[in-house]
Amino acid sequence: MARCFVTRGLPGGALGRLSEAHDVEIWPGELPPPPEDLLAGARVAEGLLCLLTDQVDAALIDACPALRAISNYAVGTDNVDLHAAGARGIPVGHTPDVLTEATADMTFALLLAAARRLDEGAAAVRAGEWLPFGPGWLLGRDLSGATLGIVGMGRIGRAVARRAEGFSLRVVHSTRGSGLPLEELLQTSDFVSLHCPLTPETHHLIGERELRLMKSEAVLVNTARGPVVDTAALTRALHEGWIGGAALDVTDPEPLPPGHPLLDAPNLLVVPHLGSATHGARKAMADLAVDNLLAALDGRPMLHCVNPEALEQD
C-alpha cells in the first residue's frame, strides 16, 4: 500500500477506488493548496494526483524522494516539469480523449455566443434596455459561409471541425507540419480557434503581429491555454479595433484579477475555464487519472503517459 496525495476532491467514485488500494490524503479545500501545503502533502507521497493549477516543478519533485508516479487531472501537462520527472524515472499521466467532446462543445458555444453577441443581449435584457426589434441593434455575424481557422488540429481541433460542418463553415487549419501557414490562416479566417498545447514554441503564439494580421471583424476563440495569447496585445487589439472580438475560456493570468485591463475591453466574452465542465467529462477524467495512478503504483504502464521514456531510466 502506497501513500498518495490528491490535491482536490474529484467527481464520481474514482477516489474511493484509490482509497481502497492505497493510503490517500485529499486536500480538503476547493482552491488549490498553497505551495507550502502542496509540498507538505507530496513530500511523503509515492503517488501524486494533481490538477493543472498545481505547479509540480523541479524543486517540488526534488523535495519528494519517495515520489514514483504523477497523475495529472488534465490533458495538458504544462504545470508539470516533465524533464525533472523523467530524470527521476517518474511517469506522468494525463487524461486525453475523455474531455474532447465537452471542450469542443464549449468552443462552439463561445464561437456562437461571440458571433451573435449573446452576452451583450443578455446583459441588455437584465438592465431593462431591450430595444424591441431594433433593425440595427446588436447585429452579429453569420456562420454559414464564413471561414473558421483552427490552430492545432489534434483531438479537440478535429472535433470542432466536425461541428463546423453542420454550420456550413469553411474550415482551414494550421498545424505543425501540415495545413496553412499560420499567417495565411490568420489573414483569411473570420473566426480563429486555438487548440494547440502550451509549449515554449506556442507561448505567445498569438501576439501583436498575429493579431494585426487578422481581419478587423474576426473573432478569436481560445479554449487551449491562456499563455498561447499575449494578453497585453489582445487587450490593445480589442480596445483599438484590430479585431472584431474575442471569446476566452482560458486567460493569462488565470483567473484574471478584478480590475485587470482586459476585462474592460469591448467585444470580449470570458468564462472561467469551463471547457471540460460537464458531469460526464469530469467524472471520466477522474476515473482515468486514478487508473493512471493505480497502474503506475502497481508497476504497470499508465493508460496515458506523456513521458513513457521515464520508465527506461535506471
Does residue 212 carry a catalytic annotation? no
Structural domains counted in the chain: 2
Neighbouring C-beta atoms of residue 148, cutoff 10 Å: 25
Instruction: Give me the mean pLDDT over the 172-181 stretch.
Output: 94
Whether 85 and 61 map to the same domain: the answer is: yes
Helix, strand, or coil (residue 206)? strand
Please pick, among 225, 236, 282, 304, the residue that the annotation labels catalytic: 225
CATH code for the domain of 136: 3.40.50.720
Whether 237 and 144 map to the same domain: the answer is: yes
Take residue 205 and report the three cell numbers written for it.
503564439
| CA atoms lying within 13 Å on the CB side of residue 266 | 8
Whether 40 and 183 map to the same domain: the answer is: no
Q: Band the pLDDT of 151: cuts 50, 70, 90.
A: very high
Please pick, among 94, 273, 282, 304, the residue that the annotation labels catalytic: 273
Residue range of the domain that includes 256: 100-270
Whether 133 and 152 map to the same domain: the answer is: yes
The string of pLDDT tens digits covering residues 194-252 is: 999 999 999 999 999 999 999 999 999 999 999 999 999 999 999 999 999 999 999 99
Whether 150 and 201 map to the same domain: the answer is: yes
Whether 197 and 242 map to the same domain: the answer is: yes
Angle between helices 155-166 and 100-115 (to 10 degrees): 50
pLDDT at res. 133: 84
Whether 146 and 79 map to the same domain: the answer is: no
Whether 36 and 65 map to the same domain: the answer is: yes
d(C-alpha 256, C-alpha 269), whole Å: 13
Whether 211 and 110 map to the same domain: the answer is: yes
Which residues contact residue 172 at a Cβ distance below 8 angstroms, ignoring those fewer than 6 apart? Answer: 147, 148, 149, 150, 179, 180, 185, 188, 189
Whether 51 and 139 map to the same domain: the answer is: no
Does residue 254 carry a catalytic annotation? yes
Whether 19 and 142 map to the same domain: the answer is: no
Q: What is residue 308's DSSP assignment?
A: G
Contact predicate 144/165, CB 8 Å:
no
Please pick, among 25, 184, 208, 254, the residue that the annotation labels catalytic: 254
pLDDT at res. 310: 86
Take residue 177 and report the three cell numbers written for it.
507540419
Whether 253 and 141 map to the same domain: the answer is: yes
Cell numbers 474531455 correspond to what residue? 99
The string of pLDDT tens digits covering residues 252-305 is: 999 999 999 999 999 999 999 999 999 999 999 999 999 999 999 999 999 999
Phi, psi for residue 75 in degrees, rounded to 5:
-80, -50
Cell numbers 509549449 correspond to what residue? 199
pTM of this prediction? 0.93
